[in-house]
Amino acid sequence: MYPCVTVYEMHKENESGAFEETISSQKNAEHKTVEQMTTKQLTTKQMATEQTINTPSNNSRNLSQINRVNALYTRGCLLTKVCPLQSLRDLSMCICVGNKKYQTMAFVQRGLVFYQSRKYTMAIHDFQSALKNGYFQLPDVYRLLGLAYIQLNLSTRAIQTYTEGIKCQTIPDVKLLLCRAEAYYYSNEKLLCMINHVLSKSNYLRL
């Protein structure tokens, strides 16, 4: 006898078969998606590894930058008298790209170049910038700053600068004391010359 299969059972079997096919297709799609994601992740990791190998590390970059700044500062110091213009370029570049230490030293050295070129106002600006950055050899900068003021006939400012430099030291610097004494002498000489000039031009104060 042939088995009697009802329409309901046939419909049920068809539904179960379709359901199994749907689940199978979903699993295949999920498997493909996982494979694609895994492939992308591996590709990304490989690219990152290649970039890490091809790109220099931060330490080597920093070392290269420090060497470049050091070379600029050294050449700027060596060319101070031989080629002042190139010295100014190197020191200015060192100020732009260097760290605080090299910036401060470059300010002092560039101020010396300006002082030798008789650009005293620009020299004063650089010396003041070095003092603001906290240059470790303060007496020398105060002395140079005072000399620049004297060249501009600002003896009072020079005396104030020397006094500030003396107060910054636990033991007063001998060079600063001598420079301040010279500034006082220069100031008195200037005052005496002005008095004599007034007396010589006056018709009412002749002895």
16 occurs within a structural domain = no
pLDDT above 90 covers a percentage of the chain that reads: 36
Residue 111 sits in the same domain as residue 148: no
Residue 169: band (very low, low, confident or very high) from pLDDT cuts 50, 70, 90: confident
Q: What is the mean pLDDT of residues 96-118?
A: 92
**Are the CB atoms for 161 and 145 separated by under 8 Å?**
yes
What is the model's pLDDT at position 83?
92
Give the three-state DSSP class for 43. helix
Q: What is the pLDDT of residues 45-76, one digit of tens each?
A: 555 544 544 445 666 677 677 788 889 999 99
Domain boundaries, position 85? 63-118
User: What pLDDT was estimated at residue 84?
Assistant: 92
Is residue 161 located within the same domain as residue 196?
yes
Same structural domain for residues 148 and 196?
yes
Closest CA to 143 of 129, 156, 159: 159
- Whether the pLDDT of residue 138 is over 60: the answer is yes
Based on the fold, state whether residues 68 and 97 are members of the same structural domain. yes
Answer yes or no: are the C-beta atoms of 145 and 131 closer than 8 Å: yes
What pLDDT score does 33 carry? 57
Q: How far is CA 68 from CA 59, 106, 111, 207, in A?
A: 14, 14, 21, 70
> Is the same domain home to 144 and 194?
yes
End-to-end CA distance of the chain: 162
Place of tokens 């080597």: 60
Helices vs. strands in the chain: H and E counts, helices first = 8, 0
Q: Is-contact 54 61, C-beta < 8 A?
A: no
What's the pLDDT at 194? 66
Claim to verify: residue 195 and residue 168 sit in the same structural domain: yes
In the chain, the number of structural domains is 2
